[in-house]
Structure 1
Amino acid sequence: MAWFILVVSGVLEAVWATALSASKNFKRPVPTIIFGVALAASMTGLAFAMKSLPTGTAYAVWVGIGAVLTAVWAMATGQERATTARVLLLLGLVGCVVGLKAVS
């Protein structure tokens, strides 16, 4: 259960990071609200997962999921260029996250 909550929290990290950018310095209300709700839920889930998972592993997996999904979303929406190097590096990050899960 802790791993599932950690994954959902990582997804929510990508949501709040994307909403933070879309909020334009907290000047747009809807993205600002989404940012606040997703941030609180993401941190709460991370805290819950860290009760039963090692702190370093839980944090690395949470950050990895959030970073990869945020970058993939930016590439999918055209905000960032999708290059071979970026895709390969993101795949490497996914491999590291899966590896951490495998050894925990």
Structure 2
Amino acid sequence: MSWLLLVVAGLLEVGWSLGLKWSDGFSRPLPTLFTIVALVASMGLLGLAAKQLPIGTAYGVWVGIGALGAAIGGIVIFGEPASAGRLFFLGLLLVSIVGLKVTSG
């Protein structure tokens, strides 16, 4: 259950990080509200997951899911560059997330 909470927390981190862009410096009310709600929910679920999982693993996976998702979201939604180097390192980030899960014991 802790891993499920952690994955949802990571997906919510993707949501709030992309929401930061959509909120346009917190000047747009609905995207700002979405960002704040997703941020609070993401941190809350991370806290619950960390009750059972090692904090280094939980935090690393949470940040990794958020960074990977935000980068992919930036490419897909906002038209950010998708160079071969950037995609290679995003792949390494995915391998790192899976590695933390596999080696967490």
TM-score range, shorter chain: over 0.9
Aligned to 1:7: 7
> Over aligned residue pairs, what C-alpha RMSD do you find?
0.8
Aligned to 1:93: 93
TM-score (norm 1): 0.97
TM-score (norm 2): 0.96
| Rounded Cα–Cα distance in structure 2 between residues aligned with 1:5 and 1:30 | 25
Aligned to 2:77: 77
| Rounded Cα–Cα distance in structure 2 between residues aligned with 1:84 and 1:22 | 26
Q: Helix, strand or coil: the match of 2:82?
A: coil
| Rounded Cα–Cα distance in structure 2 between residues aligned with 1:77 and 1:25 | 18
Counterparts of 1:23-102 in structure 2, within 5 Å, are 23-102=23-102
Residue identity matched to 1:25? G
Residue identity matched to 2:7? V
Aligned length: 104
Aligned sequence identity (%): 47
Deviations 1:8-48 (A, max 9, x none): 10010010011111111111001001001100110000000
Structure 2, unaligned stretches of length 5 or more? Answer: none
Moved over 3 A (4+): none
| Rounded Cα–Cα distance in structure 1 between residues aligned with 2:89 and 2:73 | 15
Q: Helix, strand or coil: the match of 1:48?
A: helix
Change (3 A) 1:22 1:78: closer
Alignment of 1:20 with 2:20, yes or no, is yes
